[in-house]
Amino acid sequence: MGRKYFGTDGVRGKVGESPITPDFVMRLGWAAGKVFAGENGSKVVIGKDTRISGYMFESALEAGLSAAGVDSLLLGPMPTPAIAYLTRTLHANAGIVISASHNPYFDNGIKFFSGQGTKLPDEVELQIEAMLDQPLQCNESAELGKAARIHDAEGRYIEFCKSSVPYAMSLRDLRIVVDCANGATYKVAPSVFEELGAEVIPIGVDPDGLNINEDCGSTAPGILRETVLEMRADVGIALDGDGDRLIMVDHKGNIIDGDEILYVITQNRVFQSKMLGGVVGTLMTNLGFEHALSRLNVPFARAKVGDRYVMEMLQANNWFLGGESSGHIICLDRTTTGDGIISALQVLTAMVESGKALTDLVHGMDKYPQTLLNVRVAERIDVDKSDRIQSAVREAEQTLAQTGRVLLRASGTEPVIRVMVEGQDAGIVKRLAQQLANEVRASVG
């Protein structure tokens, strides 16, 4: 059964355009409430990021849930992973996040967590979609849901984050720049690092409803890099608008991406004899990361692009660490979902325990040069069934031998074939990527 509204991470789009409209979101709240409702009543946690439209959609969800007889626990602006955590600890039936993650302010979305703080199974999302096709029927007045605001949500989550590192560990010798992207972490992230003893220089902590992710945060770490160098900080931390993505900067101003962050965490787990199982990356994970894990004797597997698929493979393998180059890092031995603050704390723990700077911890992984080209096509094609394209792929792989990798895949959101080549020689990588892109154009021309 195909999905009508849900994508890989909830329902998302431009505010005011279907389906991200107040009337639809109210119906979505009602439909979800009907699916989540239990025999003895039910409650749902609602949190949001700092977008101006969040207030409107919070009210719409609350109205829909109330009509379905479900109570709402309102958290206000809170990171997505905090909502997953609080859904569990408040023993709610589900959690709802109003956020479009790293997108601009004019986008928004609705995503869900189960009562266990994990993303909803496909079958539950399909049940909600099926309920959306039913006429909205409001409960009798005596059976309407109630709403309450949780006033200590920030403190609860801050303590949880601090509990993810050793009790005796202190960050008192570190000066840290924290970029909160004018988003959901603007209050809690600086507090977490300060309470652990660090000297914190916060930026991106002045949300106005319109400036979330604007030239700041994990998708635009330029200002973070400049501030780290200017303030002679030991490390910089960039979160995205909803706090589930992390990019870092070392004291020299080098950008440390998700692959390198995941390597530092894995390496520390190995050195502390706390590594459990292997690591999951994606098809886009740098080959240098895979080779670095091989030297650590840590198994590695690639999932499809998307943290949803990383999570599925982790659960299937009973492993605990995974992530994407973009900075979605999952530490299932610490929490149930990707969490930028907790992931940053694992890196800071590695720095404290090793006594090394971040730049030194990353040295064990050599990133291979990578070229990614997007080839626009008039209509979607199956590159695996094109003899001409596959012949060119095999030829490129023979040129790279065991020192590189070729990946061709169709975009899931636009009419584009993505051509990726990586290897040890940047010149060869660039040349082969261009040759493959030309073959794709010729095959669809």
Q: Which residues contact 233 (CB under 8 A, 6 or more apart)?
A: 175, 176, 177, 201, 227, 251
- Going 153 to 172 to 353 to 228, the CA torsion angle's sign is positive
Is there a contact between 33 and 124 (Cβ–Cβ < 8 Å)?
A: no
Nearest by Cα to 407 from 312, 431, 386, 417: 417
CA distances from 205 to 51, 212, 220, 222, 341 (A): 13, 10, 15, 16, 15
Q: What angle do CA 302, 308, 311 make, to 5 degrees?
A: 65
Phi, psi angles (nearest 5°) of residue 418: -90, 125
Q: Residue 203 corresponds to which tokens in the numbers above?
A: 């930026």
Which two three-digit tokens encode residue 372?
Answer: 């990614």
**What angle, rounded to 10 degrees, do the helices at 188-195 and 340-354 form?**
20
**Cα-Cα end-to-end distance for the chain:** 33
Rounded CA-CA distance 176/136 in Å is: 50
Residues annotated as catalytic (active site), given as ranges: 101
CB of 410 closer than 8 Å to CB of 383: yes
d(CA 78, CA 107): 17
CA separation (Å) from 179 to 167, 198, 383, 396? 25, 15, 40, 41
- What's the CA gap between 68 and 34, in Å, rounded? 6
Task: Reply yes or no: is the peptide bond before residue 202 cis, omega within 30 of 0.
Answer: no
